Amino acid sequence: MGNSYKDLIKQAQSKAMEIRRKQKLDLKSPICIYDVSQELELTIQFVPLAGLEGMYLNEEEGQRILVSSLRPLPRQVFTCAHELGHHLFEHGLKFDEMEKVSLIKQRDPKEFLVDCFAGFLLMPKIAVYNAFTLRAWTPATASPKQIFTIACSFGVGYSTLIDHMTYSLQMLSESKSRELKKFTPKKNSSVN
Amino acid sequence: MSESADIRAIIAERIRKARELAGLSQGQAAKILGLHRPSITAAEAGNRKVSAEEISKFADLYKVGVSWLLGEGEQQLDPSDSKLQLAARELKKLKPEDLDTVLQVIASIRGKR
């Protein structure tokens, strides 16, 4: 990972911490991204968008985040945080196509930045450690079921948590990440 | 059709479209607004007059402009709208049905002026 991407990660983390601090949200608890967005006077609208994850609209009459109502709930949460990132980093009108809202797949710096921001806002490092510690689990030996449980506690998807823990928080090795990703909660309803 | 009937039809259509864009069923909208569902159905069919107070409540609930509900502005923006030109390259990536939805949402927001 190049220095420019490391800088983007730092920027994203700093902005996410700033938002938590300004809204008096501690760093160890999951948050409701819709409350956070509304506190920033953004309107959240769920609309049936078949080919989009979401969109940020910056109109004179007000800023608005559109989230596709056709996507799974954890995906909607991450999309809203991602679009909030576009708002906070003043990226202007943005569309985010299906499946492109995911960490590390993005190489467009703006998209990478807001993906990292979404990850840090929803899952600060302390909160992720806390989620494991409370359950007497450790990231290095976590099972797919444990990862899925913690992802649910943050309201995000299984792969989203793994990506965030691997690339932003560096709590998982890439080999552990690959091993965990062999499982998907949808296909393996009895993950261990 | 008389002019007032035309206006009522436009308002009815916009109330329906705004509810759909907000992702609410007629039943859900009625419950939130403290109305009976047939009241919503009749308003959206243009079968009853809608008061100014109701228009204001619909606009609040559906997050659209009062003036847009009253028929001002376009129901859906033209993709060649000057303010959208900046995003024209992006717009081309959208599926036609998504583009329609997005243009309707932007038109309804602009009615908040």
Mean pLDDT (chain A, rounded):
88
**H helices of B2-113, where?**
3-21, 26-33, 37-45, 52-62, 66-69, 88-91, 96-110
Residue A190 lies in a domain: no
Q: For residue A40, give its domain range.
A: 3-181
Number of alpha carbons in the 13 Å side-chain half-sphere of residue B98? 23
Closest CA to A11 of A173, A170, A172, A168: A168
Interface of A with B (CB under 8 A): 43, 45-52, 55, 57, 59-62, 64, 66, 69, 92-95, 97
Residue A131 lies in a domain: yes
Q: Residue B103: its pLDDT value, please? A: 85
Residue B78, judged by CB atoms within 10 A of its CB (0-12, 13-18, 19+), counts as exposed
Residue A97 lies in a domain: yes
Rounded CA gap, B15 and B106, in Å?
15
> Do A64 and B105 count as a contact with CB atoms less than 8 A apart?
yes
Residue A121 lies in a domain: yes
Q: Residue A121: its pLDDT value, please? A: 97
Mutate to test the interface with A, among B68, B101, B104, B108 (most CBs of A within 10 A): B101
Of the listed ranges A34-48, B81-95, B96-110, the least confidently predicted one is: B81-95
Mutate to test the interface with B, among A37, A38, A55, A100 (most CBs of B within 10 A): A55
For chain A, percent of residues with pLDDT exceeding 70 = 88
In the A/B pair of chains, how many CB contacts fall below 8 A? 57
Give the β-pairing of A94-97 and A43-47. unpaired
B47 or B76, which is more confident? B47
What ipTM is given for this predicted complex?
A: 0.75
- pLDDT interval class at B86 (50, 70, 90): very low
**H helices of A23-143, where?**
33-39, 73-88, 109-122, 125-134
**Does an H or E element contain A178, and which?**
helix A174-181
Beta-carbon contacts of residue B31 (< 8 Å; ≥ 6 apart): none
A129-140 pLDDT tens trace: 999 999 999 999
Number of domains composing chain A: 1
Number of alpha carbons in the 13 Å side-chain half-sphere of residue A49? 29
Q: Which residue of A has its CA nearest to B104?
A: A47
Of the listed ranges A107-121, B46-60, B86-100, the least confidently predicted one is: B86-100
**pLDDT for A183 beyond 70:** yes
Rounded CA gap, A111 and A103, in Å?
9
* Paired tokens of A79: 């999309």
Residue A99 lies in a domain: yes
Distance, CA of B104 to chain centre: 8
Residue A140 lies in a domain: yes
Number of residues that this document lists for chain B: 113
Strand order in the sheet with A43-47: A43-47, A62-68, A52-59, A94-97
Residue A187 lies in a domain: no
CA A183 → CA A54, A96, A98, A179, B98, distances in Å?
26, 26, 21, 8, 32
pTM: 0.83
Closest CA to A175 of A162, A160, A190, A184: A162
Residue A189 lies in a domain: no
**Does an H or E element contain A58, and which?**
strand A52-59
Rounded CA gap, B19 and B26, in Å?
8
